[in-house]
Structure 1
Amino acid sequence: MTDKQRTDRGTREYRMGELAERAGITVRTLRFYRERGLIPPPRREGRIAWYDDHHLARLRTIAALLERGHTLSGIADLASAFDSGRDVGEVLGLGEPSEETPVRLTPEALSDYFEGETTAENLSAALDLGYLATDGDELVHISRRLLDVSSALVKEGVPLSAVLAAGREVRGHAEALASLFVELLRPHAAEGDLQRLRPLAKSVVDAELSLALDRRLRGS
């Protein structure tokens, strides 16, 4: 049997030596990563361990994160949070958001958005909040706008943990506001009109938030 084969799903599989060569590391390093839980266990076929493209992608992610200054201990924590995260289908439900644009990210790209802040605790919080979901070896952020705003706040010096905590509070208030407007409109509009009227609800919230910020900033 050759060192490389294809599974029924068309994914390439590698023996340990070939995987290490493709990832640019030694077999000893690969074995160390496996023992530390940095990569998932291989598929076993008798005494032969088969690795696939997902393992190769994870090894390249580890290399990229090491280049960005992450420690192996930190990467192990990130890998654990990543592997336990909710699947993208679970977060997005039956369909993608009607107005928000999800963003696909590799773990190293996410690290670039939040330099020095992509800890296991923050990743777990973002996964729990539903901002992030997993899709194979990628992460999916549920909203381009939320991703950009969160990144901008971190660049202004606000810790990502504080941004996520605030996001959880905002989520609760937003759910309450959405319920308020749906209950307000439902007795007076056909079900199909609720989507058409949602900009009115957003305009009210935007105006009230603007006025509230004026009051807060004048009083500060």
Structure 2
Amino acid sequence: MAEEREYRMEELAGTAGITVRTLRFYRERGLIPPPRREGRIAWYDGRHLARLRTIAALLERGHALSGIADLVAAFEHGRDVGQVLGLTGPTEETPVRLTPEELADHFEGEVTPENLAAALDLGYLATDGEEIVHISRRLLDVSAALVKEGIPLAAVLEAGRRVREHADELADLFTELLREHTEEKDAQRLRPLAKSVVDAELSMALDRRLRELS
């Protein structure tokens, strides 16, 4: 396998379409990882170039440089995808890999450091090296659709947190039911029945509440 290309500072700046002064500024602000040092020479690689292109794309989308710095810090202090998937174990949900630009496009104007930190805390987002991973395609699509309908992402995330609490209680209820009345090996097989009960009850509860509003 070919070795990954490395760049000196001037080469990296030219490839990224920025000045050496700007590159130094980004490095001092912690917007890019430290370079590899070889004596007095600093070597940069494809990760640095990808980060610089991400910064440029986010600036084009109207994000302030201070906000981008906060986003970078939040991601670098978030759990990695291995930790998150290790906590969840087997799942029917499909994780989605995103660039920061794609995440910004899903939630235009709503990807703030506060919302990012909340999503990381919930386990909706995780990091895998330079990539972002959303833990569930369904949750990503629903969250984006709600934001497009005018609901602030902060409110969507808070609702997700509250739903998580109730979902954990329901999971505990059905786990205990299955443990008490079935063999352990049957729990996974009967899992769809538990989901059907929750889906039906939630559907009827929504019908009742919506009738009250009309």
TM value normalised by structure 2: 0.95
Indicate whether 1:40 and 2:7 are aligned: no
Q: Which of the two has greater helix per residue?
A: 2
Aligned to 1:175: 168
Matched, 1:193 2:186: yes
Q: Does the C-alpha gap of structure 1 residues 124 and 11 become closer, same or farther in structure 2, counting only changes over 3 Å?
A: farther
Tell me the distance in 2 between the aligned counterparts of 1:14 and 1:20: 9
Deviation of 1:9 after TM superposition, in Å, equals 10
Residue deviations 1:153-200 (CA, integer Å, cap 9, x gap): 000111001111111111111111111101001122222211111111
Task: Confirm or deny that 1:149 pairs with 2:152.
Answer: no
Q: Which residues of structure 1 form unaligned runs of 5+?
A: 1-7
Q: How does 1:105-120 map to 2 (within 5 A)?
A: 105-120=98-113
Measure, in 2, the Cα distance between the counterparts of 1:57 and 1:64: 11
Tell me, in whole angstroms, the C-alpha distance in 2 between the residues paired with 1:96 and 1:22.
Answer: 41
Give the C-alpha shift of residue 50 in structure 1: 1.6
Distance 1:95 1:53 in 2: 32
Q: Pick from 142, 151, 164: which aligns with 1:158?
A: 151
Tell me the equivalent position of 1:132: 125
TM-score (structure 1 length as normaliser): 0.92
How many residue pairs match? The answer is 213
Aligned position for 2:197 = 204
Give runs of aligned pairs for residues 82-93 of structure 1, distance below 5 A: 82-93=75-86
Q: In structure 2, what is the Cα distance between the partners aligned to 1:96 and 1:21?
A: 44
Moved beyond 4 Å, runs of 4+: 94-97
Give the drift of 1:46: 2.1
User: Percent sequence identity over matched residues?
Assistant: 79
Task: Measure how far apart 1:20 and its partner are.
Answer: 1.0
Q: Secondary structure at the match of 2:44?
A: strand
